């Protein structure tokens, strides 16, 4: 990673969650543009930890722009306080521009957006629908590989977004003029139910993958049995039972408005991910 003290015309950009699903893609794109990047995560040097404000000053020193990703989610208790404290520290450190990754349809995330909008920083909000890559880079990978995805998701369609689109929008907002004060609500070009998404993945991977609807309590018990921390289990149940009620089904024009092109389709995601071999059956990999 570049941690360049000689700030170019773009200035030093801090990418929080820089090793995560969206942050990694944002870092790759910024480095390709020769933008000096500082990673912000517990494993970076200097380390950044949301739980330890003492780490923030060194990480913010000399930074002009920030890709702001909160972990685990803007909808968890404690997020607004952390976002308020972090944006105040960013202003004190001389940061000028912030691009916030937010979640669609979450009142708590909306409260965090308002804090960023009132921070005094130049801001852009990237308000994202459900990531397609949750099926390949997060908690849904293991069930896909095992051949059965059991979720408390009924027939509500979700316009899954490709993370390359999220990263493209974030990088445009970080590096180009004309995105300040914009809320880009980003989705894929069509909504699929979870059953349809799993069927697309099965077709692309060339194998049978079952989708099994389950009750929320059974799902919570299964996640806890796999050792998932209680707060993450609670958050996932909230997502499936409260946020996945149809409020996020309509597609939006956020990718087109930000980038002047259409978003990638879920089928493109499924085909390219299948090519990597990551969805092979567990005993074949
Ligand atoms: N999943 C979805 O479908 C979805 C949809 C809309 C919005 N979102 C939003 O996406 C955000 C998550 O982004 P992501 O998926 O790109 O991240 P992610 O893949 O969950 O990656 C986590 C990143 O955060 C870092 N991290 C973990 N704990 C940390 C801590 N205590 N302090 C500082 N850094 C920490 C990790 O690095 P280290 O381990 O090195 O610290 C890693 O770089 C959430 O805020 C969520 O609201 C998600």
pLDDT digits (tens, 9 = 90+) for 42-90: 999 999 999 999 999 999 999 999 999 999 999 988 999 999 999 999 9
Q: Can you tell me the mean pLDDT for 217-228?
A: 94
Match 């995105």 to its residue by tokens. 179
Q: Secondary structure of 27-38 in the HEC alphabet?
A: HHHHHHCCCCEE
User: Is 2 or 21 the better-scoring residue by pLDDT?
Assistant: 21
Protein residue whose Cα sits closest to atom 7 of ligand 1: 103
Structural domains of the chain ordered from first start: 6-130+162-187+250-263 (3.40.50.720)
CA of 126 to the centre of ligand 1 (A): 14
- Contact 192 CB / ligand 1 (< 6 Å): no
Beta-strand pair 183-186/122-128: parallel
**pLDDT tens-digit readout, 152-197:** 998 999 999 999 999 999 999 999 999 999 999 999 999 999 999 9
Using the predicted structure, report yes or no on whether residue 218 has a pLDDT greater than 80: yes
Count Cβ atoms below 10 Å from residue 58 Cβ, excluding itself.
Answer: 12
CA of 195 to the centre of ligand 1 (A): 26
- Contact 48 CB / ligand 1 (< 6 Å): yes
CA of 69 to the centre of ligand 1 (A): 6
pLDDT at position 284: 52
- Contact 18 CB / ligand 1 (< 6 Å): yes
**Which of 15, 17, 184 is the best mutation target for the ligand 1 pocket, counting ligand atoms within 8 Å of the beta carbon and taking the most?**
17
Using only C-alpha atoms, what is the Rg of the chain? 19
pLDDT at position 3: 41
**pLDDT tens-digit readout, 238-261:** 999 999 999 999 999 999 999 999
**pLDDT tens-digit readout, 197-207:** 999 999 999 99
pLDDT at position 138: 95
CA of 129 to the centre of ligand 1 (A): 15
CA of 244 to the centre of ligand 1 (A): 20
- Contact 62 CB / ligand 1 (< 6 Å): no
Contact 96, 122 (CB under 8 A): yes
What does pLDDT average to over the chain?
A: 94
Task: Determine the Cα–Cα distance for residues 26 and 67; give it in Å rounded to an integer.
Answer: 8
Using the predicted structure, report yes or no on whether residue 285 has a pLDDT greater than 80: no
């Amino acid at each position: 990673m570049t941690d360049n003290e000689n700030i170019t015309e773009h200035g030093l950009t801090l990418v929080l969650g820089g090793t995560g699903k969206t942050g990694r893609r944002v870092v790759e794109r910024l480095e390709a543009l020769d933008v000096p990047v500082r990673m912000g995560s517990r494993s970076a040097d200097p380390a950044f930890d949301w739980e330890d404000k003492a780490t923030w000053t060194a990480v913010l020193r000399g930074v002009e722009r920030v890709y702001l990703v909160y972990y685990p989610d803007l909808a968890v208790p404690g997020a607004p306080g952390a976002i308020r404290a972090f944006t105040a520290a960013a202003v004190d450190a001389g940061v000028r521009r912030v691009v916030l990754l937010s979640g669609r349809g979450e009142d708590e995330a909306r409260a965090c957006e308002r804090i960023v909008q009132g921070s005094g920083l130049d801001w852009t909000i990237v308000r994202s629908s459900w990531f397609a890559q949750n099926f390949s880079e997060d908690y849904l990978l293991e069930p896909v590989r095992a051949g059965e995805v059991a979720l408390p998701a009924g027939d509500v369609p979700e316009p899954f977004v490709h993370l390359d689109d999220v990263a493209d929008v974030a990088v445009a907002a970080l590096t180009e003029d004309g995105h300040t004060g914009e809320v880009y609500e980003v989705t894929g070009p069509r909504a699929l139910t979870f059953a349809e998404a799993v069927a697309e993945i099965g077709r692309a991977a060339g194998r049978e993958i079952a989708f099994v609807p389950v009750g929320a309590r059974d799902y919570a018990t299964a996640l806890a049995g796999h050792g998932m921390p209680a707060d993450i289990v609670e958050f996932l149940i909230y997502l499936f039972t409260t946020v996945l009620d149809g409020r996020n089904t309509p597609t939006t024009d956020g990718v087109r408005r930000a980038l002047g092109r259409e978003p990638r389709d879920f089928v493109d995601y499924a085909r390219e991910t299948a090519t990597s071999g990551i969805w092979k059956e567990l005993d074949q990999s």
